A and B are shown apart, each in its own frame.
Chain A
Amino acid sequence: MKKTIIPFLAIMFVFSLNFADPIENAVAAEPIKVGAVLNFTGPAAMLGPLFKNGIVMAFEEHNNQIAGRPLELIVEDGATDATTCLEKVRKLVERDKVKIIIGPLMGDAHVAIAPYIKNKKVLITTLYCGTLDMAKDRNWLIYPTTLVGLTVPVGWYAHDSGHRTMVMITSDYAGGHGFMNGVRLGFEQKGGKIVQEVFVPVGTADFGPYISTLKDADCVSFFVPNTGESSRLITQYREFGVKMPLYGTTLASDLPEPVMKELGDKVIGLQGQAAYVWSRDDPINNKWVAAMKKRFGQIPGGLESNSYAITSTILTALESTGGDESFDKLWPAAVKVKLNTPQGKLSYTPDGVAITDGYIVEAKVKDGMYVWDPIKVYPQVLDPRIKK
């Protein structure tokens, strides 16, 4: 009996070595787990599915595998809440053993999870900017750039348009201050003067009392978070008949086309900054927009573009490490990634801050559609506080 079994096992072993299906081998390989903390509930509930679409598209472009290892996406709901985000990040790291996390979105969540993530040596990304302080940890990929780097072109553009004095409406939290510090820096770099800064609490329902106190200036710039607050501010600004030109930040992501359509004439003529514009005529962008439209049935915006570019960075880095997701191998590979994304050319500083093009857009009606039309490009913008 023993004599029969040993040769049989030996034959089986040889067969298993030589004739196994390579695809089955790949499937059997340990998956590369990528965590994502997105918002599917809470005030930013509408953003989670859009960010997820961008990640899924990048995965599918790589056939859901890298170096023969399958990619596994584990998505968690951050519930637009810093405490929940920290819980979900802990779950991803400790239970799911992920070494790569995409998100979360909000600055308060970044602050909550940063020490833990640094300690655990996890590569993590922002979904929409981050502070310069985070770059010191050297485990954050900060995309599309820092808060200040993103909005500094608004200040430049307002000055280039002939304005010399400005009033700023700033949402009174860390992110709001960061975005508007970029506008201030750009405007003052060129010699402009800020004559008033109005701080409004997060979640402001009625901007009327603030709008009625605005001082006279050549223009007004603003950042308030999310679609609801942005659209209320614009509506009430127009209703109160303020004539000063209005410059916005993070426009294309906060006010996508369906929202612009509902705002109607109130949004027309509004100018400001956008990280991504789907209507930009560029072969890579056109191809990506068509693929996204086919896959998800809707035109993509800045949120999908952000998560797609971030995920593409990670997957490209994983390719260069041969699928090794250990932090010490992956981080150096990630900050060396150079890509041509739908948003434009993308590279990173050694600290992980992305360098991308900055767009100034204007709300227009084109072919019966409300669109953000790119009217000026500031190539490869970097936070002026970072030395190249």
Chain B
Amino acid sequence: MEQFVINMLNGLSYGMVLFLIASGMSIVMGAMNITNLAHGVLYMVGAYVGWTTAVKYGAPFVIGLVAGGLGAGIVGLVIERGFLRHLYKKPNEQVLLTFGFVYILTNLCLWVWGGWPRMPFTAKVLAGSIEIMGKTYPKARLATIIIGFVLAIILWWLQDRTRIGAMVRAGMDNKEMTMGLGINLERVFASVFFVASCIAGVAGVLGAQLLGVYNALGLEILLLALIVIIVGGVGSIQGALLGGLLIGVIDAFGKALFPRLAMFTMYFTMIVVLLLRPSGLLGRKA
């Protein structure tokens, strides 16, 4: 039983990181119809900025979270305002541009932070472990689960219960009608892109508690985010949450029960979902 609980906690903590990575990308895809392949490197930028703030300069971990979120948000805003806004409704150009930013930002990070990976870091209060059913379990992982759920509720509230959320959803469903109502969709989209980039940055710092940060992280994370979005569905916080947790739990149990098939389990899940529900488990239908 205790083994089951530990595996479940492992899955939930990893799943929460996956949810945070995928949620921002999913909203951008749903709201703006933009496939932002640079989302993974925004996660990495956030993690590096968080590391610099919290580890190098010794600021509290919460400040690292804020700095990481803002750092990635600003970079994201520059990408959207400077380049992407000229490429709305041009999916091929968007993919090429954002993939180009993967390499540009990866090399900039290499230049600024060097090639050596940075170790996992967390708040002092979250360092160490506690006993759960006689097994030692890291506090940082439990904190990741809790923080992830809190952020999921905030994002759901923003999307489904606020005026700005209603504007975003209206823009997803009918852009022309929404603009006809006098809503400045361009400003809304820029805000959505900024918030999505901030979430990626916060996810980077939270994820660094488990994974640390290193130069190849941007591309690795991008792949995971795409799997979660395919499973959960595009354009909804609930979908990203379900997809992230499902993939996280399946990955954890797969590693524990069938270690040599560990790389296969999450892809298998994705294939099954694609076959049964091509729009994802909770994706917004066109």
Q: Which residues of A contact B (CB under 8 A)?
A: 41-43, 45-47, 172, 198-201, 203-206, 208-210, 212-213, 226-228, 231-232, 235-236, 239-242, 256, 258-259, 262-263
Give the chain B neighbours of A203 by CB distance below 8 A.
220
Q: Which of B61-69, B116-124, B198-206, B270-278 forms part of the interface with chain A?
A: B116-124
Determine if B262 and A212 form an interchain contact, defined as CB atoms under 8 angstroms apart. no
Is A240's CB under 8 angstroms from B138's CB? Answer: yes
- Among the 9-residue stretches B85-93, B180-188, B207-215, the one with 4 or more Cβ atoms under 8 Å from chain A is B207-215
A201 touches B263 (CB 8 A): yes
Docked complex Cα distance between A240 and B13 (Å): 14
Asked if B141 and A208 make an inter-chain contact with CB atoms under 8 angstroms apart, the answer reads: yes
CB distance from B123 to the nearest CB of A (A): 14
Contact: A46 with B116, CB < 8 Å? Answer: yes
Q: Is the CB of B119 within 8 A of A239?
A: no
Residues on the B chain within 8 Å of A43, using CB: 214-216
**Is B259 close to A, CB under 8 A?**
yes
Residues on B with C-beta less than 8 A from A258 are: 116
Chain B: minimal CB distance from A190 (Å):
27
* Distance, CA A70 to CA B73, complexed state (A): 52
Which residues on B sit within 8 Å (CB–CB) of A242? 136
B250 CB, min distance to chain A CBs, angstroms: 11
User: Do B129 and A213 touch (CB < 8 A)?
Assistant: no
A46 and B119 within 8 A (CB)? no
Residue among A43, A210, A239 with max Cβ neighbours from chain B (10 Å): A239
Check B117 against A205 for contact (C-beta < 8 Å).
no
CB contact under 8 A between A199 and B259, given known A205-B220, A235-B120: yes
Chain A residue with the shortest CB-CB distance to B9: A208
Q: In terms of DSSP, what is the predominant structure of the interface of chain B?
A: helix
| Shortest Cβ gap from B268 to chain A (Å) | 15
> How distant is the Cα of A235 from the Cα of B262 in the complex, in angstroms?
21
The reply to whether A212 and B256 contact each other, CB–CB distance below 8 Å, is yes
Closest to B210 in A: A206
Residue of A nearest to B115 (CB): A46
Partner of A213, one of B107, B212, B259: B259
List the 5 closest A-B pairs by CB distance, nearest first: A46-B115, A241-B136, A209-B255, A228-B117, A239-B138
Also in contact, A46 and B114, with CB within 8 A (given A210-B255, A212-B7):
yes
B174 in the interface, Cβ–Cβ < 8 Å? no
What are some 26 contacts across the A-B interface (CB < 8 A)? A41-B110, A46-B115, A47-B115, A172-B260, A199-B259, A200-B262, A203-B220, A205-B14, A205-B210, A205-B211, A206-B10, A206-B211, A208-B14, A208-B138, A208-B141, A209-B253, A212-B6, A212-B10, A212-B256, A231-B119, A236-B120, A239-B141, A240-B129, A240-B138, A241-B129, A262-B119
Cross-chain contact B116 with A227 (CB below 8 angstroms): yes
In the complex, what residues of A have CB within 8 A of residue B110's CB? 41, 45
Given contacts A46-B115, A235-B119, A262-B55, contact A210 B136 (CB under 8 A): no
B140 part of interface (Cβ distance < 8 Å): yes
Complex formed: what's the CA distance from A236 to B260 in Å? 20
Residue of B with least CB distance to A240: B136
In the assembled complex, the CB of B8 is this many whole angstroms from the nearest CB of chain A, namely 11
Residues of A within 8 A of B255 (CB): 206, 209-210
Q: Are A259 and B116 in contact (CB under 8 A)?
A: yes
